[in-house]
Structure 1
Amino acid sequence: MKLGLEEMLQLLQEVEQGDPLDFADLPMDEDQLRRLVLSDLLQRDQQLQASASAEECQLIYLLSTARLVLENLLLHLQLLRMKQPEGGSDVQWQALLRRFRRGDDDGAA
């Protein structure tokens, strides 16, 4: 299924309703940022689809997603550390890490 930019923007908006992003007080327009990111991703997808097999595309997307989730997790943990007194964020870290362990059969990280 190939979707265009406008359809992707609408879907992203629906996804964000369940878990809104915090743009805080950044001096950027949220809609312009979404459009910029999705435009770039759609362009990269088109280039990738033209040069890789379906299996290679899926692997690249899974690895890219893993990288982004890991980067997001690290940033989140760093924010927790900055907001909490020394050692006070350990409970929050453990709760956050448990979310990612749910898929493991043995519970190991």
Structure 2
Amino acid sequence: MKLGLEEMLQLLQEVEQGDPLDFADLPMDEERLRRLVLSDLLQRDEQLQASASAEECQLIYLLSTAHLVLENLLLHLQLLRLQQPEGSAAAQWQALLSRFRRGDDGGA
């Protein structure tokens, strides 16, 4: 199934209803940022589909997702360390590890 930018934006909006992103006080338009990211990903997908097999595409997407999840986890842990009193970040880290060991990603 080939979806265009507008359909992807709508699906992303549905995903974010269950797991909203925190843009905090960043000086950027959220919708414009979503559009920019999805537009770039659709362009990369088109190039990849033209040059790789379905199996290679799936492997690339799985590895890319793993890299992004790991990067997000590291950023989250760095924020915890900065925001939490000594010791409480370690407890949250253990709780997070327990979730991953159970396979409960909480929508992440």
TM-score between both structures, scaled by the size of structure 2 = 0.92
Q: Which has the higher contact order (CA 8 A, sep 6+)?
A: 2
Paired amino acid for 1:69: V
- Once residues 95 and 6 of structure 1 are traced to their aligned partners in structure 2, the CA distance between those partners, rounded to angstroms, is 37
5+ residue gaps, structure 1, are 104-109
Q: What is the root-mean-square deviation of aligned Cα atoms in Å?
A: 0.7
Match for residue 30 of structure 2? Answer: 30
Q: What SS class does the counterpart of residue 88 from structure 2 fall into?
A: coil
- Once residues 79 and 85 of structure 1 are traced to their aligned partners in structure 2, the CA distance between those partners, rounded to angstroms, is 12
TM-score between both structures, scaled by the size of structure 1 = 0.92
Match for residue 107 of structure 1? Answer: none
The size of the alignment, in residue pairs, is 103
- Once residues 38 and 5 of structure 1 are traced to their aligned partners in structure 2, the CA distance between those partners, rounded to angstroms, is 7
Q: Deviations over 1:24-64 (max 9, x none)?
A: 00000000000000000000000000000000000000000
Q: What SS class does the counterpart of residue 61 from structure 2 fall into?
A: helix
1:55 aligns with 2:55: yes
| Structure 1 outlier segments of 4+, above 3 Å | none
Match for residue 15 of structure 1? Answer: 15
Paired amino acid for 2:46: Q
- Once residues 56 and 99 of structure 2 are traced to their aligned partners in structure 1, the CA distance between those partners, rounded to angstroms, is 28
Alignment of 1:67-78 (within 5 A): 67-78=67-78
